[in-house]
Amino acid sequence: MKEKTIVRAGEGGGIGAAAANRFSDKRRKAVVQSTAKIYEIEVKREWNYVSLSLTGALDISTARTCRDKLNEVLLAYKRNRVFVDIKRLSAKLSVIEDYELTKELRYALPSGVSIALVVPLQWTIDGEFIERIAIKNGVRLRSFSEKADALAWLKN
C-alpha cells in the first residue's frame, strides 16, 4: 500500500530538521495518508509536546512506520512528550503485536520520552497491558480513557 507525505504550508512543515526551520507558525504538522489508514503527527508548540492521532485499521507494519516517523519528529523538534490518541481506530493490533511494539519503544524512541496513550473505553484493558509492558521495559507510558486526563499527566 502506497503512502504519501503531504506538507501543508498553511499548517506547518513536514518532518526533519530542514522542515523544522522552514516554518515559524504555532502548528507544525506532518500528515501521512494511505487509502485504508491515516496517522497524523503534529507538534504542539504551546505545550511543548508531539501529538499522534491514528484513524482506521492498524497493522504492525503501519504502526512501526508511524513510530519511526514519530521518532524523526521528536528528534527534529527536540521534544520528549508524546500524546497518542487511538480512539478513532476501527481495528487494533493483536495482544502479541501490542507486546512486541511496546517492547521495541525502549530502543526506537529517544530516552526519557513520556507517552500519554488515550484509548477507547472498550480497550481499557489493552491500554493497561501496554502500560505495564512499557514500564517493565523502561518506557514512561500511561494509558487514559479521557484526553483531558492524559494532557494533565503529560504537562506535569
Domains and CATH numbers, the chain: 33-155 (3.30.750.24)
Q: Which of 4-13, 18-27, 87-96 has the lowest mean pLDDT?
A: 4-13
What was the pLDDT predicted at 39? 86
Q: Which of 25-34, 129-138, 144-153 has the lowest mean pLDDT?
A: 25-34
Q: Is the pLDDT of residue 87 over 80?
A: yes
Q: What is the pLDDT of residues 100-119, one digit of tens each?
A: 999 999 999 999 999 999 99
Q: What is the pLDDT of residues 18-41, one digit of tens each?
A: 444 433 344 555 554 444 557 889
pLDDT > 70 fraction of the chain, expressed in percent and rounded = 76
What was the pLDDT predicted at 19? 43
- 115 touches 134 (CB < 8 A): yes
Residue 15 or 128, more confident: 128
Residue 43 contacts by C-beta under 8 Å, 6 or more apart in sequence? 12, 27, 28, 29, 50, 51, 73, 77, 79
Q: Read out DSSP for 30-67?
A: EEEE-SSEEEEEEEETTTTEEEEEEEEE--HHHHHHHH
11-20, 27-36, 70-79 — most confident range: 70-79
Distance of CA 29 to the CA centre of its chain: 13
Q: Is the pLDDT of residue 7 over 90?
A: no
